[in-house]
Structure formats: structure tokens, C-alpha cells
Amino acid sequence: MSKSVHALYGDEQLLMKAAKELVAKGVHVADVFSPFPIHGLDSIIGIKKTRLAIVSFMFGVMGTTLALVGMWYFMVYDWSGINVGGKPNFHLYENLPAFIPITFEFTILCASHGMAMTYFLRNWTFPGVTAINPDPRTTDDKFLMIIDESGFGENSDSDIRDVINGSGGVLELTEKDAE
């Protein structure tokens, strides 16, 4: 059974300062819980950029394709004899200017819904799942930094505690057994 050090802060700038000092000493910060995103923290603690932008683009391309294929099928292929508002119904390119708003809206619809589902599945936070949060105060106004014993590197427990206490602003410093 391994142990971890939990440092609770009241200010995100102090947490970032402590994280920089710990990483400079060769300590691996396992995770940080905060009530809002802390810009710049990812690069400090070594979290890689996500590929969510690529996935979003793919959902958008899927939405655009589905919209154009659907409109071609409905307006050109299946019901070409129906005159709607005087629009020619023999080719897709003749109707394309009228299809742009619908294509745009369907692209946004598919990208946003696809990203919401991807986010929920990727982070395992869809409805009905119990949240994994070591301290409920991090959903309000506190910031929690977790350092696993395996990430101490060449540093002892007291070295890490000294860096955390020296960073100022630490509200609580506890040691927990990891499960």
C-alpha cells in the first residue's frame, strides 16, 4: 500500500509556485483538483495536451457530410419534382447557397453533442457515476495537490513537506493511504 501527500491551498498562484518548486526538485505531482481550470498548470506538472480538438473537428466533418448528403437525398434525389420556393432541384451545387445555414447548424449540433459525449466517456463523468474527489472543498474554493510516494524521486518525505510548507499559503498538509 503506497502513501500520498495531500496539500490543500487557498490560492492557485501559491499552488503553482509550490508545483514549480517540487518539479524542479524532481518530484512528480500526481494530480491537482481545483474548482476551475488553472491556466499554465498543465505544462508545469507535465500533463500532455489532449486530442479533443481533433475529435471535435472529426465530429464537425461528420455533421457537414451528413447535412449535405441528407439535403442532396431529400431535395435532389428523392423529391426532385417538388418545387420549394422556386429553387432548382436538379443538382446539389445549384441549391448549395440555400443549404449553407442548415449545413452550418448541423455541423455545430454534431460537433457539440459529440464532444459532450466524448468528454463524459473519456473522463468517466457521465450521469450516474460517483465522482472521485478526495476533498469536497475543491468544488468550492480550495485547491488540492496530490503527490504519490512513487513520485518523490530522490527526495524524502520531510524534503517534500519543507517545500510545500515553504511555498506559503498551505492550509492543510496530510498523508493518506492510497487504495
Integer Cα distance of 65 and 157 in angstroms:
56
Which residues, listed in sequence order, are joined to residue 176 by a DSSP beta bridge? Answer: 4
Kind and range of the H or E element at 130? none
Q: Render pLDDT for 23-32 as a digit per residue (tens, 0 to 9).
A: 988 888 989 9
pTM score: 0.70
Per-residue pLDDT of the chain (179 residues; tens, 9 = 90+): 577 888 999 999 999 999 998 898 888 898 999 999 999 999 999 988 888 899 999 999 999 999 999 988 888 888 777 777 776 677 778 778 888 999 999 999 999 999 999 988 888 887 888 878 888 888 899 999 998 877 777 777 788 888 888 887 777 777 777 55
How many beta carbons lie within 10 A of that of residue 41, not counting itself? Answer: 19
Question: 64 near 40, Cβ under 8 Å?
Answer: no
Q: Tell me 8's DSSP state.
A: E
Integer Cα distance of 166 and 17 in angstroms:
10
